[in-house]
Structure 1
Amino acid sequence: MNLVVGIDVGTQSVKLVAYDMESRCVVAAHGQSIELIAGDDGSREQIASWWIDAVRTCFAKLPRQLRAEIVAIGVSGQQHGFVPLDADGNVLAPVKLWCDTSTQNECDEIMAAAGGADRCVALGGNPILAGYTASKLPWTRKHRPEAYAKLATILLPHDYVNFWLTGERWMECGDASGTGWLDVRTRQWSADMLAATDAHRDLLACLPPLVAADASFVISDSIAEELGLSPGVRVSAGGGDNMMAAIGTGNVRSGVLSISLGTSGTLFAHADHAVVDDEARWAAFCSSTGGWLPLICTMNCTLATEMVASAFGFSARDGDTVMAGTLPGAGGLVMLPFLNGERTPDLPHARGSLHGMDLGNVTRANIYRAAMEGATYALRSGYDALLATGLRFDAIRLTGGGSHSAAWRQMIADVFNLPVEVPLQAEGAALGAALQAAWANDHARGGHADIAALASEHVVIATGLSTRPDPANVDAYRQHYQVFLRHLDVARSLYAHSPVTGAA
């Protein structure tokens, strides 16, 4: 009985990985796509029941005998989503997601009430950025007053799946640090940030208790029976997808840099102390293992390459073939891939743009490459801020859908001038959730397993996918990156104000 399951509730799909701790192999992996509700005002929402339906579907794909052998479950989820529940546990409204930029005015209002962005950093470690959970609450008060009036509990996406599995409501510090309300230094809710968000009610009463990273709860009897699981299966604390991907890529020691190339792009590292930046150049998050996770998030990564592929009538899976023969610099094209607005850099009102077009370089191959380069440069701009603190790295662990692209793996190695390693299990967040589940289950039974040792033992590098920087490309990208930064400076000025209200 060594089978653990990791569930990753993403923006585009729910994924399930069943992992055998004894044989150290994934015995089953399934996924189910989910829809996204997108509005012209920048809103991005989903219905919470869609996640549950997708989880049910993934479990149903597992053979019954396999389901009976599961001992623990861990849940990873997209960060920052606002799941409002009434006193009976019913979801009151569609879930506003991490990529929702319609609440920028509420971000500004919260920060003003707290005393400015610098004061927010002093109180909690982070300013309130578009997409963070905090701004979604006053938006709900204004636009969905019926839901606000009945609000009893605030959960994040992975918390809600845990609630469905166990009937228990809790949060852990990794995902909670993405709300904007947690003081990441003390791992406690900031009363001042809660008051700045809503002076009309006691928000602390709406937040479930914070639990330790190795906490776990027993699955409810009714859900165990419905899913065909044994009674007594334990559900671990779980965490945000980036926190779980840190475990699933083995990023539980200093010197390793993880990059996830998904719908959004993320770049994060392990720290044994709170890494807070007064200028808020990165997100000062906690990890889901008891440490900290300084993180850079861009809101447009594979989203950009998939958009270009769709516009030209091919699949992003064929992108490497399409761009074969192109060179660093995309023939002079530069793309700012800010299709969803952007978080790093902090330009929520920005839009995508393509520069440097001439009569010879406007080809689908160059444009696709420009999208890939633009997404990579945006991550590199955040990485520069981490380097400025004195942090140093000796390798990159790459995960997410973009890691399947040999061209993108090489580009990351060249742009960052670091060797790239790819874990054999591409679904880093789901595997990380499974390993956290094994860790928590061991502790619940009186064991003393170490999460770093577990990750070292079970995260296997796919040696055939490892990539080293090409010195010629490193030099070429260094020049092209500077061109990207000059265009970015212009975009900062162009999108410094809301196109609708003109408010800063």
Structure 2
Amino acid sequence: MSAKTIIESGKAILGIEFGSTRIKAVLIDTDNTPIAQGSFEWENQLVDGLWTYSIDTIWKGLQDCYADLRKNVKAEYDCEIKQLAAIGISAMMHGYMAFGKDENILVPFRTWRNTNTAKAAAELSELFHFNIPLRWSISHVYQAILNGEDHINKIDFLTTLAGYIHWQLTGKKVLGVGDASGMLPIDSNTNNYDAEMVAKFDKLIEPKNLGWKILDILPEV
């Protein structure tokens, strides 16, 4: 089956990756062979001492990247993408995107590049008897708690960039097991967040009376 026929029949699959310097869209055929691509270059910004990408830039980048893909498909195959068999989203793992009940972001997206979480990562590594890197989401949220940031008790959902895009496109607050492992350690026997670490973290933050437990705000694996 030709690439054009695959595209026109809606059998092509779209993968979109949010990298640190470029958003890439790759269209693949039924044999997983790339048949078209598009891209958008971007750079993170240092705002109030933290590396971030704005919500507006995230969506502009996604739209421009997909528009570039469509332009290239038109030029190469003289057809339009009207239907897809599937869409997959990947992005920089880790980081911190916290949303309130109104679904608005509470503080600017904190990327994996930020290293302000040293105290949190060290305390959690000792508590869990497991190395917790500075960039993991659990380090970010606990550092915000240690800092006494006023948005903490307003968190309704905590996710990564990939989880955010997937949520906005599908309405589902989920994350693949690989990306989820960069939020909180995964138990390989259950393929879910480590229950013992979950319990330890909830006990640790209980005196803060935040109004949530960690599984209340994390995406489903």
Same fold (TM over 0.5): yes
Match of 2:16 among 7, 12, 17: 7
In structure 2, what is the Cα distance between the partners aligned to 1:208 and 1:40? 27
Task: Check if 1:171 corresponds to 2:175.
Answer: yes
In structure 2, what is the Cα distance between the partners aligned to 1:11 and 1:27? 24
Q: Give the greater-gyration-radius structure (CA).
A: 1
Residues 35, 195 of structure 1: CA spacing in aligned structure 2 closer, same or farther, 3 A cutoff?
Answer: farther
Question: How far is the alpha carbon of 1:157 from its aligned partner?
Answer: 1.3
Question: How far is the alpha carbon of 1:171 from its aligned partner?
Answer: 1.8
Match of 1:112 among 107, 126, 138: 126
Question: How far is the alpha carbon of 1:154 from its aligned partner?
Answer: 1.2
Match of 2:43 among 18, 28, 35: 35
Task: Check if 1:208 corresponds to 2:219.
Answer: yes
SS of 2:103's partner is: coil
Which residue is equivalent to 2:154? 150
Answer whether contact 1:14 1:51 (CA < 8 A) is retained: no
Which residue is equivalent to 1:131? 135
SS of 1:95's partner is: coil
Which residue is equivalent to 1:99? 113
Deviations 1:485-504 (A, max 9, x none): xxxxxxxxxxxxxxxxxxxx
Question: How far is the alpha carbon of 1:46 from its aligned partner?
Answer: 2.4
User: Unmatched 5+ residue regions in structure 2?
Assistant: 1-8, 207-211
The one-letter code of the counterpart of 1:184 is S
Task: Check if 1:87 corresponds to 2:96.
Answer: no
The one-letter code of the counterpart of 1:147 is H
Which residue is equivalent to 2:188? 184
In structure 2, what is the Cα distance between the partners aligned to 1:188 and 1:71? 27
Answer whether contact 1:8 1:16 (CA < 8 A) is retained: yes
In structure 1, what is the Cα distance between the partners aligned to 2:104 and 2:148? 15
SS of 1:96's partner is: coil
Which residue is equivalent to 1:46? 53
SS of 1:145's partner is: coil
Task: Check if 1:57 corresponds to 2:71.
Answer: no
In structure 2, what is the Cα distance between the partners aligned to 1:144 and 1:4? 44
Question: How far is the alpha carbon of 1:86 from its aligned partner?
Answer: 1.3
Question: How far is the alpha carbon of 1:25 from its aligned partner?
Answer: 4.5
In structure 2, what is the Cα distance between the partners aligned to 1:130 and 1:183? 20
CA RMSD in angstroms comes to 2.4
The one-letter code of the counterpart of 1:56 is Q
Residues 181, 147 of structure 1: CA spacing in aligned structure 2 closer, same or farther, 3 A cutoff?
Answer: farther
Which residue is equivalent to 1:16? 25
Deviations 1:253-295 (A, max 9, x none): xxxxxxxxxxxxxxxxxxxxxxxxxxxxxxxxxxxxxxxxxxx
In structure 1, what is the Cα distance between the partners aligned to 2:196 and 2:52? 28
Question: How far is the alpha carbon of 1:73 from its aligned partner?
Answer: 0.7
Residues 146, 49 of structure 1: CA spacing in aligned structure 2 closer, same or farther, 3 A cutoff?
Answer: farther
Deviations 1:15-67 (A, max 9, x none): 11112226x643321111222123796x4322244222211111222148532
Deviations 1:320-349 (A, max 9, x none): xxxxxxxxxxxxxxxxxxxxxxxxxxxxxx
Match of 1:26 among 23, 34, 37: 34
Residues 149, 10 of structure 1: CA spacing in aligned structure 2 closer, same or farther, 3 A cutoff?
Answer: same
Residues 150, 139 of structure 1: CA spacing in aligned structure 2 closer, same or farther, 3 A cutoff?
Answer: same
In structure 1, what is the Cα distance between the partners aligned to 2:150 and 2:34? 45
In structure 2, what is the Cα distance between the partners aligned to 1:78 and 1:48? 15
**Identical residues among aligned pairs (%):** 23
